């Protein structure tokens, strides 16, 4: 992980030296404390010259203004102050982090005219700074040579707010979640030669330091449980297979847990139904679901969420090899249902079939939500700005969609139904692992549904959002960490008491 900026909160007091960032509300300008940083109304004049009106995300940058001490004075457009929600504050933090590329040490006056003391806002702004400052630079041995590298230099940022104690407290939780996002991004960005199933498990074991109970099933135990679907995918790789079970028991002993299940294909060549070479390198990110579940468990444990949560990830590599499974092979899943593997590149659902069944069977969760970079078809349907949401429970679907719009990790509901389910019936086994030409994301979801029993369940197809998604105010990373903030919000709003 790249180094994180260090952030502290202090009371409002006009800074007199260094770099200073103030917020400018559209239509209302600077707050009293913001204006106090501006010795000779420099920003007022500059705003007229530059036609700056405080539109959300716009920047007015004045270098070495005249007057005592200030090196740089920046006004960040905050839009209409009344419309700022948590995500809005987070985006401001992102814009600030991007603006401070070459002067990373700064004071930010997180105050707006007429704004009530907003400790949550200042904390969200800080979280936005942390998220935007991330870059995956572990393998750059010559840091700081290109302007791009320099951009990533983390700084010391002092955030002034009317309620520093409140902001510090709110930031403790938000920073736990941000750390979970950064962990997920790191896992997705890591190349597959470095991060295979066993190495992924080592990263998961570190969560024990936060109080997460970690249990690892190796091939032998999985074989005993009858996980022929998951093991069939893994059999072509020398790098092993693991099922990791993470448990965070922050709730009451009697509460049924909420469960999250992730697809963890550390590399997807397609197997014998091999993918074409162009863009295949992206398949190092085919464990984005497992990364999100791991990042989420980190977040929940680090902020001591008052809920019982289970995280399960199926970790395999889908390799090409003399021992790899062949199209036409028939495997028996832990559920007892048989699957004809017509396409070895539709491997994620095979991994999830056993992981979901195991989860439902052992934990009887109140709800079970899986995340998977499951289909190219979901990207055709929704592009990269929404993940696909498939759900057998309208209430759960509503909660997820709501959490999605609040965190801006947005979901779009897709259909399930018997007509689609029929498309995966097989002549030779209970089902086949691919449907026909149409509705590929839906038939994949129908396949998963055959392994959830009657558990309230949701499937998030994050193929378009977990990696390579367009960068945003709070992410410039290829691996986005999509799902961590979303599901943290879901747990906070619906499973914590």
Where do contacts with Zn ion occur on this chain (CB under 5 A)? Answer: 265, 268, 286, 348
Q: Quickly list H helices, 100-145.
A: 119-133
Tell me which of 140, 275, 306, 413 is the catalytic residue: 275
Helix (H, G, I), strand (E, B) or coil at 223: helix
Q: Applying CB under 6 A, which part among 176-184, 200-208, 253-261, 344-352 lies near ligand BES?
A: 344-352
Task: Return the one option of Mn ion, Zn ion, ligand BES, none that residue 375 interacts with (CB less than 5 to 8 A, by type).
Answer: ligand BES
Q: Which is nearer to ligand BES, 68 or 470 (CB)?
A: 470
Asked if 463 touches ligand BES (CB under 6 A), the answer is: yes
Residues 6+ apart with CB under 8 A from 461: 372, 373, 374, 375, 378, 387, 388, 390, 414, 441, 444, 445
Asked if 370 touches Mn ion (CB under 5 A), the answer is: no
Helix (H, G, I), strand (E, B) or coil at 350: helix
Q: Applying CB under 6 A, which part among 97-105, 196-204, 210-218, 367-375 lies near ligand BES?
A: 367-375
Q: Applying CB under 6 A, which part among 26-34, 101-109, 236-244, 375-383 lies near ligand BES?
A: 375-383
Asked if 264 touches ligand BES (CB under 6 A), the answer is: no
The contact pattern for ligand BES, residues 131-170, with x = CB under 6 A and - = no contact, is ----------------------------------------
CB of 107 to ligand BES, least distance (A): 42
Annotated catalytic, 102? no
Total binding residues toward ligand BES, as defined by CB under 6 A: 16
Instruction: Classify residue 41 as exposed, middle or buried by CB count within 10 Å of its CB (0-12, 13-18, 19+).
Output: exposed
Distance CA(442)–CA(484), nearest Å, equals: 23
CB atoms within 10 A of CB 385: 13
Annotated catalytic, 275? yes
Which residue number has the CB closest to ligand BES? 376
Distance CA(260)–CA(366), nearest Å, equals: 11
Q: Which is nearer to Mn ion, 111 or 268 (CB)?
A: 268
* Contact with ligand BES (CB under 6 A) among 39, 57, 327, 376: 376
Asked if 343 touches ligand BES (CB under 6 A), the answer is: yes
CB of 374 to ligand BES, least distance (A): 6
Q: Applying CB under 6 A, which part among 142-150, 157-165, 208-216, 338-346 lies near ligand BES?
A: 338-346
* Contact with ligand BES (CB under 6 A) among 375, 476, 477, 480: 375
Q: Applying CB under 6 A, which part among 77-85, 138-146, 340-348, 386-394 lies near ligand BES?
A: 340-348
* Maximum C-alpha span of the chain: 82
The contact pattern for Mn ion, residues 255-274, with x = CB under 5 A and - = no contact, is -------------x------
Distance CA(188)–CA(466), nearest Å, equals: 8
Q: Which two three-digit tokens encode residue 182?
A: 């950064």
* Contact with ligand BES (CB under 6 A) among 186, 347, 370, 409: 347
Distance CA(466)–CA(226), nearest Å, equals: 30
CA atoms within 13 A on the CB side of 93: 32
CB of 349 to Zn ion, least distance (A): 9
Number of helical (H) and strand (E) elements in the chain, helices listed first: 16, 18
Strands annotated E in 352-486: 367-372, 387-391, 411-413, 431-432, 457-461
Distance CA(132)–CA(146), nearest Å, equals: 18
Q: Are residues 203 and 188 in contact, defined by beta-carbon separation less than 8 angstroms? A: no
Distance CA(353)–CA(348), nearest Å, equals: 9
Which residue number has the CB closest to Zn ion? 268
Q: Which is nearer to Mn ion, 345 or 461 (CB)?
A: 345
Residues in the chain: 497
Distance CA(315)–CA(287), nearest Å, equals: 8
Contact positions with Mn ion (CB under 5 A) in 312-351:
345, 347
Interface positions with Mn ion (CB under 5 A): 268, 345, 347
Interface positions with ligand BES (CB under 6 A): 268, 282, 286, 343, 345-348, 373-377, 434, 440, 463
Point out the residues that are catalytic: 275, 349
């Amino acid at each position: 992980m790249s180094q994180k900026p260090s952030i502290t909160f202090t009371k409002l007091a006009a800074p007199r030296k260094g770099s200073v960032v103030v917020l400018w509300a559209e239509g209302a300008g600077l707050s009293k404390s913001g204006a106090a940083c501006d010795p000779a109304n420099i920003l007022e004049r500059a705003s007229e010259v530059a036609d700056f009106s405080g539109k959300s995300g716009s920047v007015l940058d004045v270098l070495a203004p005249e007057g005592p001490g200030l090196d740089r004075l920046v006004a960040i457009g905050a839009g209409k102050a009344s419309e700022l929600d948590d995500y809005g504050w987070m985006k401001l933090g992102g814009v600030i982090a991007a603006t401070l590329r070459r002067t990373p040490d700064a004071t930010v006056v997180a105050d707006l005219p007429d704004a009530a003391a907003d400790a949550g806002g200042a904390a969200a702004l800080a979280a936005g700074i942390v998220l935007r400052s991330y870059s995956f630079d572990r393998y750059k041995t010559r840091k700081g040579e290109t302007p791009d590298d320099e951009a990533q230099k983390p700084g010391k940022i002092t955030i002034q707010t009317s309620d520093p104690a409140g902001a510090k407290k709110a930031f403790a939780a938000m920073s736990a979640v941000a750390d979970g996002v950064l962990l997920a991004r790191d896992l997705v960005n890591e190349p597959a030669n470095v991060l295979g199933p066993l190495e992924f498990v080592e990263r998961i074991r570190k969560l024990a330091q936060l109080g997460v109970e970690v249990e690892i099933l190796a091939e032998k135990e999985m074989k005993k449980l009858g996980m022929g679907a998951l093991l069939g995918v893994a059999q072509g790789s020398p790098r092993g297979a693991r099922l990791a079970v993470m448990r965070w028991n922050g709730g009451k002993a009697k509460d049924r847990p909420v469960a999250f299940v992730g697809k963890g294909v550390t590399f997807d060549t397609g197997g014998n139904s091999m993918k074409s070479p162009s863009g295949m390198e992206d398949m190092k990110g085919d464990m984005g679901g497992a990364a999100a579940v791991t990042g989420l468990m980190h977040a929940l444990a680090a902020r001591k969420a008052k809920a019982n949560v289970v995280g399960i990830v199926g970790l395999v590599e889908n390799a090409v090899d003399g021992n790899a499974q062949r199209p036409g092979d028939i495997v028996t899943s832990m559920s007892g249902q048989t699957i004809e593997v017509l396409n070895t590149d539709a491997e994620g659902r095979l991994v999830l079939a056993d992981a979901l069944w195991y989860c439902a069977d052992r934990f009887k969760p109140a709800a079970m939500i899986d995340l998977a970079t499951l289909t190219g078809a979901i990207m055709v349907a929704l592009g990269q700005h929404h993940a696909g949401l498939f759900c057998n429970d309208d209430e759960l679907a509503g909660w997820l969609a709501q959490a999605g719009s609040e965190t801006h990790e947005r979901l779009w509901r897709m259909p399930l139904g018997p007509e689609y389910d029929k498309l995966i019936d097989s002549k030779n086994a209970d089902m086949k692992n691919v449907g026909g030409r149409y509705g590929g994301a839906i038939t994949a979801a129908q396949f998963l549904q055959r392994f959830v029993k009657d558990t309230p369940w949701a499937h998030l197809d994050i193929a378009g959002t977990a990696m390579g998604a367009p960068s945003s105010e709070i992410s410039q990373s290829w691996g986005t960490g999509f799902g961590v903030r979303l599901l943290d919000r879901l747990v906070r709003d619906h499973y914590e008491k």
